[in-house]
Amino acid sequence: MKILFFSPVLFLIISCSGKKEEPQQKETFSIKGNHVILSENNPVLKKIITETVTEQEYSNRITSAGTIETIPNNYAEIASPFSGRVIRSFVNIGQSVNAGSPVFEILAPGYSSVQKDYSDALNDLRLAEKNYRRQQDLVRHGVGIQKELEETETEYQNKKTSLSNASSTLNAYNSKSSGGTYIIKAPISGEIISNKIVTGQYLKEDSEPVVIIAELSKVWITGAVKEKDIRFISPGDPVSVKVNTYPDMEITGKVYHISELVDEDTRSIRVLIQCDNPQRKLKPGMFAAVTYSAGTEKAVIIPSRALMQQGDRQYVWIKSGKNEFTKRIVVPGSTAEKTTKINSGLKPGDIIMTQGGVYLPDTK
């Protein structure tokens, strides 16, 4: 049997060679609540850029979607005022017309009966007036009865109303027409944008409009402004308008009217904008983006890149000491291309981190 002996020196060498000595790493930052303190040798310091917060002149701008519409007084749908057959058309689609220009002519068999109704109503009124005057004279001389006077007065007033109605109906016919025809005329100046007139067709008095006239040198844009922003907008304020069809076209207008009602579903208020449309490029039904100029004010404006996200909140890093930064929750407002208005959370003189915040450790 062989007995092995280990030298104490050899054992010591083996023992020392088997043990690895780990270098101690020095922390380059410390966290205290929502504060982060960086050590002098922390490489993140070279990536940090700060900026002092100042108040700036800020132009309030509110943007909303809108729809282009015709101005009601510049739009007319023309239907036949009574049943009859179209015997002639005077217009074509796209044609410009003046108020009073002939649009189409209709043969109206009911014209003679309308004339008769008017004549009968006129005769009835004359008779009722004669009876009324007679009763007045009798009462004045003490031989008449007050009740009969009141009855004849009521009859007289009723006949006046009947004549007025008959006159309105007769006025719907052209006084110069003959043979029971009537020429429908344009009620406004504008352009024929829809024409469904067919010579020989029979129109009923409750038929749909066959001609639409619109004057589109000016249009309305209906926008919806949030309830919280309506205080910034007043009638006459200038607005700028953009439509996708003409992205490079500069369109301006003015606030024409602000509704008195609030839409309870969207909490928004209807705003009418009037725009010039000399080239007729703005078409009713087009969608538009409307930007309202709501005046200027002093406000805290910071670079948008300084904002950090934490859940549904946003924050910035505030320089609170040498190599020390504090997380502060802010409430951002409207944004421009590279800047953001801060509604609360910052004040002039605060020093914020505008670059490097992504390298800081998370805090509470």
C-alpha 47/C-alpha 13 separation (Å) is 47
Q: How confident is the model at residue 172 (pLDDT cuts 50, 70, 90)?
A: low
Rg of the chain taking only CA atoms, in angstroms: 42
Contacts of 299 (CB under 8 A, 6+ apart): 55, 56, 58, 333, 341, 342
CATH architecture of 77-213: Beta Barrel (2.40)
Per-residue pLDDT, 112: 66
Could you tell me what percent of the chain has a pLDDT over 70? 88
Domain 30-57+298-359, CATH: 2.40.420.20
- What is the overall mean pLDDT for the chain? 85
Could you tell me what percent of the chain has a pLDDT over 90? 48
Q: How many other C-beta atoms can be found within 10 angstroms of the C-beta atom of residue 322?
A: 8
Per-residue pLDDT, 198: 94
pLDDT tens digit sequence for 100-144 = 999 999 887 666 677 788 889 999 999 999 998 998 888 888 888
State the number of CA atoms in the 13 A half-sphere of 245 facing the CB: 11
Q: Are 250 and 242 in contact (CB under 8 A)?
A: no
Helix, strand, coil tally for the chain in percent (to 5): 25, 45, 35
Residue in the structure block whose two tokens are 């940090």: 48
For Cα atoms 233, 236, 241, give the angle at the middle one, nearest 5 degrees: 75
Residue ranges of domains in the chain: 30-57+298-359, 62-73+215-297, 77-213
Residue 294 has pLDDT above 80, yes or no: no
* 179 conformational bin, left if phi > 0, alpha if psi -120 to 50, beta if neither: left
Task: Give the three-class secondary structure for 345.
Answer: coil
Task: Give the three-class secondary structure for 166.
Answer: helix
Residue 359 has pLDDT above 90, yes or no: no
Terminal CA-to-CA distance of the chain, rounded, Å? 70
| Of 76-80, 176-180, 187-191, the least confident | 176-180
Same fold, 30-57+298-359 and 62-73+215-297: no
Taken in order 320, 323, 329, 335, is the CA torsion positive or negative? positive
Quote the CATH superfamily of domain 62-73+215-297: Efflux pump adaptor protein, beta barrel domain (2.40.30.170)
Instruction: Print burial letters for 283-309: b (CB count within 10 Å at least 16), e (below 16).
Output: eeebebebebbbeeeebbbbeeebbbe
pTM: 0.54
Smallest Cα–Cα separation from 237: which of 305, 278, 200, 290? 290
pLDDT tens digit sequence for 244-267 = 889 888 889 999 999 999 999 999
Q: Are 290 and 301 in contact (CB under 8 A)?
A: no
Per-residue pLDDT, 8: 46
Average of per-residue pLDDT across 328-333: 92
Per-residue pLDDT, 363: 76
C-alpha 211/C-alpha 76 separation (Å) is 8
pLDDT tens digit sequence for 49-63 = 999 999 888 777 788
Residue 175 has pLDDT above 70, yes or no: no
